[in-house]
A and B are shown apart, each in its own frame.
Chain A
Amino acid sequence: MLTVENLDVWFGFPPDRVDAVRSADFSVAQGESFGLVGESGSGKSTILRAIAGLIDSWSGRIEVAGRSVTGDRRDRAFYKTVQMVFQDPYASLHPRHSVDAVLSEALRLQGMDDIDNRIQRLLDDVGLGRGFRFRYPHQLSGGQRQRVAIARALAGEPRLLLLDEPTSALDVSVQAEILNLLADLRAEHRLTYLMVSHDLAVVGHMCDRLAVMQHGRIVEVMTVDALRQGAARQDYTRHLIHASAGYERV
């Protein structure tokens, strides 16, 4: 579904050039859920943005559903296949567009017909009742907003969802609801996920395999089973697992 080979992403020009991602390699199979974990600045979100066409300064190969992409230009077919959900549901919805306007715009851009019924179905899919259709973002809680953002991503019936920390701005009980929703949607629509998170436990819950990143490089690709069994091969991964486990008094 997705292949990334020898991906380099940089910002700026020498001598100030920053290499945000260095020779990243991984592939995600159809229907798989793949996680990218690492600390801030490790380049995990940058990979997502390069795939989505939000960054043009990259080299290497990105192939989505058998088709290579270039630069920051993507055609309609790409956006029909790939959609992204962002971290902050407070920032990713237009404050003066109602849920109805957000979803109908997305549907129209995807060239869908029967928009009225599709909005209804999208709202049902993400567990929002009909009563939410004409609300504005400020009338929604964080979890409800993220549901709207997910509904918007689903509008074009994509096959690959890029999830950039979809629950890190939410309370843990709301996080549980959204993670359950994402798991259900993946099963129902046979979606492929590429999920970025700094939270190992969230990735462990959602994904089949994961890549651990540090300083722009992928240090290890492992299965979640290996993660759970503590079978990390790299020191950095072990360090990350240990630190995520919480605080130990010294």
Chain B
Amino acid sequence: MTDPLLSVRNLRVTFATRQGEFQAVRGVGFDLGRERLGVVGESGSGKSMTGRAILGLVRPPGRVTADRMELEGQSILNLSERKMRRIRGSRISMVMQDPKFSLNPVMTIGDQIIEAYRLHAGGAKGQARQKALDMLAAVQIREPERVMAAYPHEMSGGMGQRIMIAMMLAPDPEILIADEPTSALDVSVRTEVLNILDRLVRDRGMGLIFISHDLNLVAQFCDRVLIMYAGRIVETLSARTLHEARHPYTQGLLNSLPRLDAPVDRLPVLPRQDSWRDGGPVGESLETDLPGGL
């Protein structure tokens, strides 16, 4: 077995509040190989916070602790901002949910991609420009020249998200963290964006962490799925066996979705149990099993 790209053990993110300490992430551990790893949970389950903690984006008063957080054997836990900047963007990148808020509205798209690329890779402007055009072509933007000169408000949501992906991929990162990359998109555009991500993972051997609330989508798209509840991983599944989920929370999530092919009169609601907060995870061991392409 190859060494994992990213290895996380006992990750905790803590916020001090007036009511005492609040842990948004409570002891999360996983290994990421060259695969598509899905992280699923409802709002407040800590899935986005996990992604942000890996990138060192949790700001004080938030505190990140972990027994281990290693990128290819090298610890990236609580690095200084300067050192983190060398990793963030160039080795681990992130695509956020809404392209409207992640693109600079007063800069042309070309300038933004060129800026992001040169920040990490340096090089001459002409070369960076060529790279930006290549990246836009890689995410299947039809007229890259025109798009380079355009401003973000001239783009649709799907275009914006593809541009974000292009920008994040320009420095050739090893890991891409995609935080709800398709939630703001229409279903037909969603398929295109997922196809692009899928191809990039396959062709470049990238590791992808796909954060989403959409359990079915993740199961169809990813190789392996972590289910989070109240800041902890309650179940790890290989995506193909999602429908054999054993944890009542995972089962409840699956059942509460209306389905076109299986109509019901009433949707089953999810009775939450306190024991889920602290019970151990069910499923395969987190430490070893890395199905899919290793």
Contact = CB atoms under 8 A, between A and B. Distances in A.
Contacts of B198: 249-250
Q: Select the residue from A180, A202, A246 with max chain B CB neighbours within 10 A.
A: A246
A26 B192 CA distance: 32
A247 B221 contact: yes
Interface of A: 39-40, 142, 171-177, 179-180, 183, 198, 200-202, 204-205, 227-228, 239-241, 243-250
A169 to B, nearest CB: 10
B43 A204 contact: no
Closest 4 CB pairs of A and B: A205-B258, A176-B256, A39-B186, A176-B267
A44 to B, nearest CB: 12
B257 A142 contact: no
A249 B187 CA distance: 15
A246 B258 contact: no
B49 to A, nearest CB: 16
B44 to A, nearest CB: 9
Given A247-B221, A249-B198, A171 B43 contact: yes
Contacts of B258: 176, 179, 201-202, 204-205
Interface in B248-274: 252-253, 256-261, 263-264, 266-270
Given A174-B42, A204-B263, A245-B260, 16 more contacts: A39-B188, A171-B43, A171-B213, A176-B267, A176-B269, A176-B270, A179-B258, A198-B186, A200-B260, A201-B260, A202-B258, A227-B260, A228-B261, A244-B260, A247-B194, A247-B220
A247 B270 contact: no
Interface in B150-186: 157, 186
A180 B266 contact: yes
A246 B216 contact: yes
B285 interface: no
Given A180-B269, A247-B191, A247-B217, A173 B260 contact: no
Interface in B200-233: 213, 215-217, 220-221
A233 to B, nearest CB: 17
Given A204-B263, A228-B261, A172 B256 contact: yes
Nearest to A244: B187
B266 A240 contact: no
B195 interface: yes
A240 B187 contact: yes
Contact of B188 (A174, A179, A227, A239): A239
B186 A40 contact: yes
Given A202-B258, A246-B216, A247-B221, A171 B269 contact: no
B253 to A, nearest CB: 6
A246 B266 CA distance: 23
17 contacts: A172-B42, A173-B269, A175-B256, A176-B256, A180-B266, A183-B266, A198-B186, A202-B258, A204-B260, A204-B263, A205-B267, A228-B263, A240-B187, A244-B187, A246-B220, A250-B195, A250-B198
Nearest to A173: B270
B190 interface: yes
B288 to A, nearest CB: 25
B194 A173 contact: no
B138 to A, nearest CB: 16
